[in-house]
Amino acid sequence: MKAWAKALVAGLLAATPATATAQWDYGVHYPNGTAAVNHIYGPRGMFKPVTGINYPFNFYQQQEYNNSCTVAPVPVDRGALINAPGVTSAPDKDCHLLFDANDDKMIDLGANGLAFVEHNGFNGEGRKVQRTFEQMWFDDNWLARYMAIAYGRPQPAGLWAPNDYNRWAIVGGDTSNWSSNLNPWTGDYFDHRTYTGLYNFQTSGCSGWVPPAMVDWYGWISRSGATYDAANQRYDYPNVTEDYHYGFFLLFTQKMLASGLCNATHERNLLQHAVSLRSQILSRQVVNPQGELLGWVTERDNPVTLINTETIAANVLGLGAGGRYAFEAGKMPMRQGSGNYFLRPHNVLSAVKDLSNPGMLNFGPYLIFPTGTVSVDFYLRSPGASGNVANLDIYDANSGQVLASRVVTAQDFGGSSDWQRIRLNSQNVNPNNSLEFRVYWLGGSNLDIAQILVR
């Protein structure tokens, strides 16, 4: 690779060392996840000072709460809360109030810092069409905190540890205060299936013929109306209207897939939908008139919905749930070669027999990793493969050493058009490294790359 290209990629990544990831940690996704995080923390985003925060109105009627909830004696008036001047809070559906550490439904004195507001008034075209709704929800900020931790950004202020049910706690693997009898988030709904599935996965794993977590997973797929779109080579989910459901379910899917605890049949199904869910999320991300990636609106097909904290956090976490870093093939900081390769609208990079030239299909990202084991999953597909398809390697551009390599053959694809995970494990001993995860296409069979995950 030319020196100017190396410098460009290195500058984009700022040579930040990677860190180890536990089962319930989340990784960084390039470029879409980082763009959304930059948007939510940026001057047009939702991370705002809490100065003057007050609790003037309730948003929910008593019967709308998920449990018995004693709220402050202020009116229930959604319109007034939406239009209230300044920064506000009110109990969420689990009856939790930001900056209420003693749970007395009064905002604590001396509240300060920054937290996330509900939305910034930007629509699906990336245009500012409404005033920012400066309502700071406890549940939105709890979910967004996982995003903040994953991306090394400031965490929201005002959170405290409830001693009752807290729906987003399961995203961190916390099963305390959860009961299938008391949990209000049960039922055949998309979010209910995912909450319960995560709980079952955390408590029961994924072993057995059809474990409880997979019952929830297949239930979500069935309810979604999942159908394969041959033209775009991915699944559509026509019954899913709210965009955060894509990210939340991808999070669940990737956590089970990464665990290695599910049987081969379940892993195959998890993988096919992980690739499709990821593609749907990428396609639904808002791009403004200047071509900048922003976040996600509540419903991509509803023109009146707006970019909001909950949807950004859920989708960012889903995109990064499979490992420490997730890279999109052919998109910066990864690079595609110049052999007439095709970056598809369904978010895969393709080499096509008799149209593309053999060569380096995908390379990068020139990131510094700590010494030790580096495991990389290449998400590949090669319908009708024959013979040797590609060479994969992990290459240190600073030392000039190949740390791991293998030839991908038709046998790796089993004669199917399914996506496969091909893993390389390497030992990185050079602290001053600059790693590449490379795919050299041999030219004999069509090859698609979806993404590359560093575990």
Q: CB of 123 within 8 A of CB of 306?
A: yes
Q: CB of 51 within 8 A of CB of 112?
A: yes
- Please name the residues in contact with 219: beta carbons below 8 A apart, sequence gap of 6 or more: 188, 193
The Cα–Cα gap between 371 and 391 comes to 24
The Cα–Cα gap between 71 and 85 comes to 21
Judged by DSSP in three states, 381 sits in: strand
* Chain Cα centroid distance, residue 434: 25
pLDDT of 9: 31
pLDDT of 15: 29
Judged by DSSP in three states, 8 sits in: helix
Separation in Å, CA 318 to CA 54, 162, 249: 32, 25, 7
pLDDT of 13: 32
pLDDT of 180: 60
Q: Give the pLDDT means over successive 10-residue stretches in the chain (455 positions).
A: 32 30 80 98 98 96 83 94 96 96 94 97 96 97 98 98 92 85 70 94 92 97 98 96 98 96 97 99 98 97 96 99 95 96 98 98 94 96 97 98 98 95 97 98 98 96
Give the DSSP letter string of 304-356. Answer: T--BBHHHHHHHHHHHTTTSSEEEETTSTTSEE-SSS-EE-TTS-EEE-TTTS
pLDDT of 139: 98
The Cα–Cα gap between 38 and 46 comes to 11
pLDDT of 68: 79
| Residue (of 300, 304, 246, 295) closest to 275 by Cα position | 246
Structural domains of the chain, ranges and CATH numbers in brackets:
3-13+326-454 (2.60.120.260), 28-323 (no CATH)
pLDDT of 67: 74
